[in-house]
Amino acid sequence: MFEHLHAGLLAAVSMSNLIALFFGTFVGIVVGILPGLGPMVGMVVLLPFSFAFSPDVALSLLLGVFCGGYFGGAVPAVLLRTPGVPSSLVTSFDGYPLTQKGEAQTALSAALLGSFGGGVISVVILIFLAPALAHVAASFGPPEYFAVAVFGVVLVVMAFREQFARGIMLLGLGFWFSTVGIDGTTLSERFCFGTLSMQNGLDIVPICLGLFGIGQTLILVERDIMKTNDIKLSRSTLDFSAIVKVLKYWKTLIRSGVIGTFVGLLPGTGSILASFLSYDVAKRLSKEKERFGKGTPEGCLASEAGNNAVPAGAMIPLLTLGIPGDALSAVLLGVFTINGIYPGPLLLVKEPVLISTIYISMLLINVVAFLMLIIWLRPFAMIVKVPGKLLAVVIMVISMIGIYAVNTRLFDAGVAIAMGVLGYILLRMGWPVVTLIMGVVLGEIMENRLRETLSLGDGSLGILFQRPICIFLIVLTSLIILIPFVLDIRKNIRNKKLNQF
């Protein structure tokens, strides 16, 4: 293991990897700071460029955006009570009151130290937990993989339980997108509508770029992002003494990092739950409970450690099982598969150096993002002044050219525009677009595993009930679906009875 880590370290500190890592982190912080954009837009815009690089460099670039985005999101949350990324909302509970008291430096120190600590803790957990999980998954056959994929998809759909039917529809639509083109197993044509362009299938890049890149920018065109000149920062860099001051909350930092990692590990849970949960636990266990919500650095630290631990947590099921936990890791899965690398338990055996490079790169990204924000705090904070509409128009052009550049096909750009329209409608109506992306990314995996399982069972899914792991996963999946519905029904009955009285 240590020799692979050493090889990974050497690959991670190569010039090309470091440039990608720096640039990705920089872009991540910028899109994280800008409310309305977020790391997803940054990742999908850089996605076409990533194909020019080797897989490790491409992944460092995109992981930089992924992790950097969470770092950046804390800055406007603390200074303006406007979270750059949704999960930083919790950071604003204590960060903004501290800013109003003239303690913006303390709040930002706590938030950034939390982000850094949470990120590092989660990568360490990833390094030790991923091989253990991969060891268990090594005994999996197609039925187990199919059951795990169903479990992951159900978790994501159930995360949007209030919109269960909509989640199912979008998941189905995503699955359908993945079937368009020539079927890899039988070489049969599917849903090509008589056109040659459709035979290559719908690439994941134009779909992601359209849904999130163009869809989100179309939303930005019609809505005014908050602009302000009121940025209360006493100095242009982060005060080192303020960082030292918040180090006394080290127990909260470790605890929140661990919580964030394990929340990130579960598909569909996401960074918002991680920061809420970390904040809530920190509040319950704190000696200064009454200060929470009124301005305590401990709250900022807990929330940011929780949400910044999510990226590494989400990498655990992605690397070991090939199941992405959210839309961001679904895009990363796309990068793996486009480069001919298929995440799963064998990946850790087949590509140990690549995996170690990812680990080391993630550690470096946390260090780089932390240092960037310490040194260039004011310039980064000033980014919120850039008009969102101007950015939206520029991002649209970059997206269109980027998408064309991947395969030099204008058809892909057309697909991106169509997906942009769909993305705009879905984002404006608040539908769970994540399930659509999950469907697109997992569609091929699910279909292949289903057909392999059916082949093993001579056309019957009964084989799933002959394997202990499958039975366990089926029971777990059923419980995840049934328990919330049963609880809802009980609640409705109780409410009706109360209304009768």
Partner 1 sequence: MPKKDYYSSRAHDLLGSIFGVFALSMLITSPWQVDTSGPDPFYKGPLIFPLIVFCLMLAGSLPSLWRLFRPSEKSSWYLDGQGKPFKTMVILGLLIIYLAGIIFIGLEVSTWLFLLIALKLVNQDSILKLTLIPVLVTLILFVIFKYFLDIWFPEPLIMEIFLE
Told to check if 173 binds partner 1 by CB under 8 A, we report yes
Min dist CB 428 to partner 1, Å, is 7
Q: Is 427 in the site for partner 1 (CB under 8 A)?
A: no
In this structure, is the dihedral angle defined by the CA atoms of residues 362, 366, 372 and 375, taken in order, positive or negative?
negative
| Of positions 18, 124, 133, 166, contacts partner 1 by CB under 8 A | 166
Give the containing element (helix H, strand E) for 181: strand 181-182
DSSP states of 8-34: HHHHHTSHHHHHHHHHHHHHHHHHHHS
Residue 487, amino acid: L
> From the list 132, 136, 138, 221, which residue makes contact with partner 1 (rule: CB under 8 A)?
221
Q: What are the DSSP calls for 351-398, one per residue?
A: -HHHHHHHHHHHHHHHHHHHHHHHHTHHHHHGGGGS-HHHHHHHHHHH
Q: Does 429 bind partner 1 (CB under 8 A)?
A: yes
Q: Is 397 near partner 1 (CB under 8 A)?
A: yes
Pair 73, 369: CB distance under 8 Å: no
Q: Supply angle C-alpha 13, 18, 21, rounded to 5.
A: 125
- Range in contact with partner 1 (rule: CB under 8 A) among 87-95, 104-112, 134-142, 386-394: 386-394
442, 152 Cβ separation under 8 angstroms = yes
- 30-69 mask for partner 1 (x: CB under 8 A)? ----------------------x-----------------
Q: Which residue in 181, 392, 150 sits closest to 268, CA to CA? A: 150
Q: How many helices (H) and strands (E) does the chain have?
A: 23, 2
3-state SS, residue 189: strand
How many angstroms separate the Cα of 253 from the Cα of each of 219, 224, 361, 500?
A: 36, 36, 22, 48
Q: Of 328, 230, 347, 278, whose CA–CA distance to 91 is shortest? A: 278
Nearer to partner 1, 169 or 367 (CB): 169
Counting contacts by CB under 8 A, is residue 176 touching partner 1? yes
The stretch near partner 1 (CB under 8 A) out of 182-190, 201-209, 253-261, 282-290 is 182-190
* Amino acid code (one letter) for 473: L
193 near partner 1 (CB under 8 A): yes
C-alpha count within 13 angstroms, C-beta hemisphere, residue 322: 28
Q: Does 168 bind partner 1 (CB under 8 A)?
A: yes
Q: Which two tokens stand for residue 259?
A: 């919580």
Stretch binding partner 1 (CB under 8 A), from 75-83, 201-209, 215-223, 374-382? 215-223
| Element of type H or E holding 182 | strand 181-182
Task: Tell me if 482 contacts partner 1 by CB under 8 A.
Answer: no
Residue 371 or 454: which CB sits closer to partner 1?
Answer: 454
- Stretch of 65-73, 329-337, 355-363, 423-431 lying at the interface with partner 1 (CB under 8 A): 423-431
- What are 28's two structure tokens? 């991540």
Task: Please say which residue, 22 or 431, places its beta carbon nearer to partner 1.
Answer: 431
In angstroms, what is the minimal distance from the CB of 163 to partner 1?
Answer: 7
Whichever of 162 and 230 has its CB closer to partner 1, that residue is 162
Question: Which has the closest alpha carbon to 427: 223, 136, 126, 269?
Answer: 223
Interface pick for partner 1 out of 2, 139, 185, 284 (rule CB under 8 A): 185
Q: Which of 70, 175, 279, 336 binds partner 1 (CB under 8 A)?
A: 175
Rule CB under 8 A: say whether 367 interacts with partner 1: no
Residue 35's closest CA among 77, 65, 71? 77
Minimum CB distance to partner 1, residue 221 (Å): 5
195 binds partner 1 (CB under 8 A): no
Structure-token pair, residue 431? 């539908």
Minimum CB distance to partner 1 smaller for 232 or for 409: 409
Q: Helix 388-407 vs helix 410-428: angle between axes, to the nearest 10 degrees?
A: 140
Is 152 near partner 1 (CB under 8 A)?
no
Q: Which is nearer to partner 1, 136 or 425 (CB)?
A: 425
Give the bridge partners for 181, in sequence order.
190
Q: 165 or 196, CB closer to partner 1?
A: 165
Quick one: which of 2, 139, 165, 340 contacts partner 1 (CB under 8 A)? 165
Rg (CA), the chain: 23
Q: Is residue 226 a contact residue for partner 1 (CB under 8 A)?
A: no
Position 229 contacts partner 1 (CB under 8 A): no
Judged by CB under 8 A, the stretch of 22-30, 333-341, 419-427, 466-474 that binds partner 1 is 419-427
Q: Closest Cα partner for 481 from 151, 143, 148?
A: 151
Residues 433-452 touching partner 1, rule: CB under 8 A, are 446-447, 450-451
The encoded tokens of residue 287 equal 């000696």
Residues that bind partner 1 (CB under 8 A): 52, 162-163, 165-169, 171-173, 175-176, 179, 183, 185-193, 214, 218, 221-223, 387, 389-390, 392-394, 396-398, 400-401, 404-405, 408, 410, 413-414, 417, 420-421, 424-425, 428-431, 446-447, 450-451, 454-455, 459
